[in-house]
């Protein structure tokens, strides 16, 4: 209450014309507009995209049959993660020249702790494997190393397949909830991209200086 009374008195005295106050108010208003924009966009994506996606049992069964080999497989993988194509090609060249994969992986870490091997991933089920990996993983035999794989935000992976273990106990019934979640995510991205293109095509955008 006291703050509000002080603020009202400041306006009466014309202090709201102070340059420092005006600049602070403009920053606050810009932050409010950005927060409003983000929240409305999130609500739009939820109501107009996510909530309208339906993935049924038949969709899950078709996906299972088309991807049975992947779904019924568990992978053991070592990875090297670098930023930028140049760094990825350099790491790949070192491995091709004979440097052990693990040595090159360790060299990418800012800090090395004896006995720890963070490049060795725990066994991965199919839904834990990044989409970008599959084309490379499908063609590898245990012990083989992939070429650099491009990911988002200029990230690159180099993978070494350690083992591929079949698990036929994973049935369509067991996998169905995970399949439906994966399909819903894929359909969300596809529908979101489609809506983005439609919105851009209809938009009239102009930029003004502050």
Per-residue pLDDT of the chain (210 residues; tens, 9 = 90+): 899 999 999 999 999 999 999 999 999 999 999 999 999 999 998 998 888 888 899 999 999 999 999 999 999 999 999 999 999 999 999 999 999 999 999 998 877 777 789 999 999 999 899 989 999 999 999 999 999 999 999 999 999 999 999 988 899 999 999 999 989 988 888 888 888 888 888 887 666 655
Contacts of 85 (CB under 8 A, 6+ apart): 148, 150, 154, 156
Phi then psi for 162, rounded to 5 degrees?
-90, -45
Beta-carbon neighbour count of residue 126 at 10 Å? 21
pTM score, whole prediction: 0.68
Beta-carbon neighbour count of residue 137 at 10 Å? 20
């Amino acid at each position: 209450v006291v703050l509000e009374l002080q603020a009202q008195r400041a306006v009466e005295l014309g202090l709201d014309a102070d340059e420092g106050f005006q600049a602070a108010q403009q920053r606050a208003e810009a932050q409010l507009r950005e927060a409003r924009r983000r929240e409305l966009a999130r609500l739009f994506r939820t109501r107009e995209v996510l909530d309208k996606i339906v993935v049924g049992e038949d969709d899950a069964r078709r996906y299972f049959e088309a991807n049975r080999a992947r779904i019924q497989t568990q992978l053991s993988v070592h990875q090297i993660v670098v930023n930028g194509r140049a760094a990825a090609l350099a790491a790949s060249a070192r491995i091709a020249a004979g440097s052990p994969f693990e040595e090159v992986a360790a060299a990418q870490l800012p800090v090395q702790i004896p006995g720890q091997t963070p490049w060795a991933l725990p066994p991965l089920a199919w839904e834990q494997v990044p989409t970008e990996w599959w084309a490379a993983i499908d063609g590898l035999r245990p012990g083989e190393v992939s070429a650099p794989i491009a990911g988002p935000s200029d990230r690159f992976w180099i993978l070494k397949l350690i083992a591929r273990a079949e698990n036929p106990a994973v049935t369509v019934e067991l996998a169905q909830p995970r399949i439906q979640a994966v399909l819903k995510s894929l359909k969300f991205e596809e529908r979101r991209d489609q809506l983005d293109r439609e919105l851009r095509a209809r938009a009239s955008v102009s930029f003004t200086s502050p």
